[in-house]
Amino acid sequence: MTAYKVSTVPLRVVMFLGTVRENRLGLRVARFMEAQLEKTGHEVNFFDPLEMKFPLLEKPIFHFPKDRSGAPEWLIEAEKKVKEADAYLIVTGEYNHSIPPALSNMMDYFGGSSYSYKPSGIVCYSPGIYGGMRSAMQLRAFLGELGCLSVSNIFGIPKVHEALDENGKPLNDHMESGAKRLITQLDWHANSMRNHRSNFGTP
């Protein structure tokens, strides 16, 4: 009987930021989460739609030929990072109590097979008392359809301007413990699913 192989390679995480608004608060959340992931040994690729300039979706990457001829080089590289990831972290506010359009536009560029059989985690925030939870509830369905089911823990950050400074430094004792709970759960699922993919492949 073949022994079950367990990978000890650091987990690769793609972190998607979902906001492009002027004076956005999400960047401080992303900086904080990136630091928390790197501190716990993760390899992080940060996808910021304001920096990467995903156009309004007309032709996703999977509509190009298999050799990707005609696709922009930056998009080919982005797809490679999404496919190689072991898990996804979604940092999101809420626009009109819903998923920010820049976030869904960016993630829809990549086909479901890029995300399949890997977990995701949701970090939501707002300047108000609900912490972006209405967007998070809709993201659960969205991420499930992409094939990267979200873990049960959601890290919600109400009054985010009082929780993190502009550089992503925590301003209270709850931020690091909240991030740790989410990352711990995400890691458990990501390691389990990576090992299972390695040993048995995917359906």
User: What pLDDT shows up at residue 2?
Assistant: 61
Summarize pLDDT for 161-198 with one digit per residue, the tens. 999 999 999 999 899 999 999 999 999 999 999 999 99
116, 157, 158, 188 from 135: Cα distances, Å? 22, 13, 13, 24
In a domain, 127, yes or no: yes
Domains: count for the chain = 1
Domain span including residue 83: 12-200
Residue 19 binned pLDDT confidence (cut-offs 50, 70, 90): very high
Please check whether residue 164 lies inside any domain of the structure: yes
Q: Which residue has the higher pLDDT, 3 or 70?
A: 70
Q: Mean pLDDT, the chain, as a whole number?
A: 95
Tell me, yes or no, whether 137 lies in a domain. Answer: yes
- Asked whether residue 59 is domain-assigned, the answer is yes
pLDDT tens, position by position, 39-66? 999 999 999 999 999 999 999 999 999 9
- Pair 141, 113: CB distance under 8 Å: no
What would the pLDDT profile of 126-152 be if each residue is shown by its tens digit? 999 999 999 999 999 999 999 999 999
Report if residue 2 sits inside a domain: no
- β-partners of residue 13 are 44, 87
In a domain, 168, yes or no: yes
Q: What is the percent of the chain with per-residue pLDDT over 90, rounded to a whole number?
A: 94
Q: State how far the Cα of 64 lies from the Cα of 67, in Å rounded to an integer.
A: 8
pLDDT confidence of residue 3? 74
* CATH number for 154: 3.40.50.360
112 or 7, greater pLDDT: 112
| Cα separation values, 137 from 98, 133, 147, Å | 9, 6, 16
Residue 126 confidence (pLDDT): 96
Confidence (pLDDT) at 125: 97
* 5 assigned to some structural domain: no
- Condensed to tens digits (0 to 9), the pLDDT of residues 83-95 reads 999 999 999 999 9
The pLDDT value given to residue 106: 98
Q: Which strand (E) or helix (H) includes residue 179?
A: helix 174-200
Residue 169 within any structural domain of the chain: yes
